[in-house]
Structure 1
């Protein structure tokens, strides 16, 4: 019997995210950056909290256009701290602006998509976990990516956040093997989607 990954529960928004987005290989540089930022905002919170606020985040953060956000300063930080539709955490907001600047440098040099996907040689890692208990919170690879992102100027990108990002953008397929999405995501990876 097919069994969906248990972390999404029965919440329709969560189930839809699990079924259509989580683990699907993402190669758009801006979308990758957005997911890394949202995973940073999740630190200390549940993903469903961020998911429910995602459209508010997109409105507040100029559609997550890093080239726009990179030029923001104190005025925008104060505006965001007053926005009840997002997570109002000064450190995370300031980190988003710093991360936009770091993204812009990587994007200009090599492309953010190439930068992150190079860690897996452009092909998603295919795990075959039978239960969610087997799925790690971080790996040596997420530790290395975290270290490299921090070296490039990123903040709020520890190895656990980076591993959640890797799962979300399909760098690693961590759908459990009984989940209908496991084989579907693996097939997308095989086709180079």
Structure 2
């Protein structure tokens, strides 16, 4: 039985009773290793946008972000000027928080610097886990931490490199989203074998 046909009550608790969009995200994307720089930039933007909000709010706006941010192309976003930022702040399809919108450009610029240093942002990121996901075997959502010593170290390094909206909790969620940390509960049909 695939994750998309499994009963909802067998999934991780946060996906139970969720929208079709959230179920698809849980089943097909969350916790799956990503080595694609554009996807990694996209998730960096979206995780930062989530700060103080629910993931479902951000996920519902994902396509609007994709449209507004030129398909999450970091080179294009890094070159946005103040007029473009002002236009984004008027876009009702995205979260129009001034600091979060400004962080998109700053993070794109920092992302490109890291990519230039390492050859790929993915190489930088996956280097923190020696190229292999950390697979946890939690049986209850209460066991999943909001942050870890690893997310503390990565958050500190990202901040040093000029990134914003990358606190340790956001960083841990980012690691989970991109499969560096695999936190599907034991028994969840979406947990990779």
**Shared fold per TM-score greater than 0.5:** yes
> Which stretch of the first structure deviates more once superposed, 3-12 or 141-150?
3-12
Once residues 34 and 26 of structure 1 are traced to their aligned partners in structure 2, the CA distance between those partners, rounded to angstroms, is: 11
1:9-46 per-residue CA deviation (whole Å, 9 max, x = no partner) reads 22211111100000000001111111011000000000
Which aligned segments of 4 or more residues in structure 1 are displaced greater than 3 angstroms?
A: none
Once residues 122 and 63 of structure 2 are traced to their aligned partners in structure 1, the CA distance between those partners, rounded to angstroms, is: 23
Q: Give the SS at the match of 1:22.
A: coil
Once residues 23 and 147 of structure 2 are traced to their aligned partners in structure 1, the CA distance between those partners, rounded to angstroms, is: 23
Report what 1:20 is aligned to.
28
1:47-101 per-residue CA deviation (whole Å, 9 max, x = no partner) reads 0001110000000011110100111121011100000000001101111100010
Q: Give the SS at the match of 2:179.
A: coil
Report what 1:9 is aligned to.
16
Once residues 24 and 131 of structure 2 are traced to their aligned partners in structure 1, the CA distance between those partners, rounded to angstroms, is: 26
Once residues 44 and 187 of structure 2 are traced to their aligned partners in structure 1, the CA distance between those partners, rounded to angstroms, is: 27
Gaps of 5+ in 1: 188-193
1:126-152 per-residue CA deviation (whole Å, 9 max, x = no partner) reads 100000010000000001000000111
1:147-167 per-residue CA deviation (whole Å, 9 max, x = no partner) reads 000111100000000000000
Alignment of structure 1 residues 1-193 onto 2, 5 Å = 3-10=10-17, 11-110=19-118, 111-182=120-191, 184=192, 187=193
Aligned residue pairs total 184
TM-score when scaled to structure 1?
A: 0.93
Gaps of 5+ in 2: 1-6
Deviation of the 1:178 alpha carbon: 1.5
